[in-house]
Amino acid sequence: MISVLGAGAFGTAVAVSLARNGGSVQLWAHDPAHVEALRQARENVLRLPGVPLPDNVEPIERLDDVPPEAVILLAVPMQTLRHLLQDNAEHFLARTLVACCKGMDLKTHVGPVQTISDCVPTAMPAILTGPSFAADIAHGLPTALTLACRDERVGKALQQSLTTPNLRIYRTTDTIGAELGGALKNVIAIACGVVIGARLGDSARAALMTRGYAEMQRMALRLGAKPETLAGLSGFGDLALTCTSEGSRNFRFGLSLGQGEPFDTDVTVEGAATARAALARARELGIEMPITGAVTALLDGQVDVRQAMDMLLSRPLKDE
């Protein structure tokens, strides 16, 4: 049994993909009205329209209905993860909890794996991350993800249970690299969206991606990540996808900023909070992260797009 907590687009897509393996899958949402809509329509009309829920996907609204043996996937936004864990801690004791969100907590400046460990010390934390769009997964298109778990035995079991006909899962024990790669690339995606929205060109985007990758490595390696993790799916792979496709919410958000247009406030943009959290953490560690700083200043209205670009272009010349 697999229980997916969070019936947004990604949680629904993963539930649909896992159900194709033939086992029972639960899909939990905190809003009873949303759960009832899923039951009636057998489709997530709000977040993932046009994708039928297989018969073996059961929408639920009570965490009491999650059986003790179930693997739990936490497909909720990063900024709500801590509240979910703290408010329902009794349901998560000594469980295997797999985070499916990407970001850094705005208050604590840590990622989802550390958040799970902080809130539920008896749980076994893991993270499922990498270059993936919900629609691709839901429609059965081939997708490769990274499963990171410190316990190699648990990681191998999760790799087997979460692999589906269209989801290929690679495994690592480097949870730090996996969670930071997924979090920090969203900040760079916002910056790349701004560049394209402001018509600064593909050459500028390529430069931002390259120097943004250097920033990602700078923080992740300082915190104990392995360089090969950042060079893999959860780092470079996810960076390539989110910085080059309008399927990325973070890229679309940056695109709107660069064009000076409003953005749909109902759409979750994890990179905005992560930029602020990452910059605060970088200052604590004494790490230079100029692109993250420029994105944060832009988000906070301290600079406009041209000034943000000038901040980066006027930095002292240095070796690559």
270 is known to lie in a ligand binding site: yes
Integer Cα distance of 274 and 198 in angstroms: 22
DSSP string for residues in 226-275: -HHHHTSIIIIIHHHHHTT-TT-HHHHHHHHHHHT----TTS--HHHHHH
* Catalytic residue (one of 107, 156, 185, 226): 185
Inter-CA distances, 162 with 7, 129, 158, 171, Å: 17, 12, 6, 11
Integer Cα distance of 16 and 10 in angstroms: 10
11 is known to lie in a ligand binding site: yes
Integer Cα distance of 232 and 137 in angstroms: 19
Determine the distance from the C-alpha atom of residue 131 to the mean position of all C-alpha atoms in its chain, rounded to a whole number. Answer: 9
Question: Which tokens go with 108?
Answer: 């604590």
Cβ partners under 8 Å of residue 93, min gap 6: 120, 122, 123
Cβ partners under 8 Å of residue 90, min gap 6: none
7 is known to lie in a ligand binding site: yes
132 is known to lie in a ligand binding site: yes
Are the CB atoms for 47 and 8 separated by under 8 Å? yes
Strands in the chain per DSSP E: 2-5, 25-28, 43-44, 48-52, 57-60, 71-74, 96-99, 124-129, 143-149, 167-172
10 is known to lie in a ligand binding site: yes
39 is known to lie in a ligand binding site: no
Integer Cα distance of 318 and 172 in angstroms: 34
9 is known to lie in a ligand binding site: yes
263 is known to lie in a ligand binding site: no
30 is known to lie in a ligand binding site: yes
- Positive or negative, the CA dihedral 114, 118, 119, 123 is positive
278 is known to lie in a ligand binding site: no
258 is known to lie in a ligand binding site: no
102 is known to lie in a ligand binding site: yes
134 is known to lie in a ligand binding site: yes
Is 107 designated active site? no
62 is known to lie in a ligand binding site: no
Binding-site residue set for NADPH = 10, 30, 102, 134, 249, 270
Binding-site residue set for substrate = 102, 249-250
Q: Which residues are catalytic?
A: 185
Binding-site residue set for NAD(+) = 6-11, 134, 249
Binding-site residue set for sn-glycerol 3-phosphate = 102, 130, 132, 185, 238, 248-250
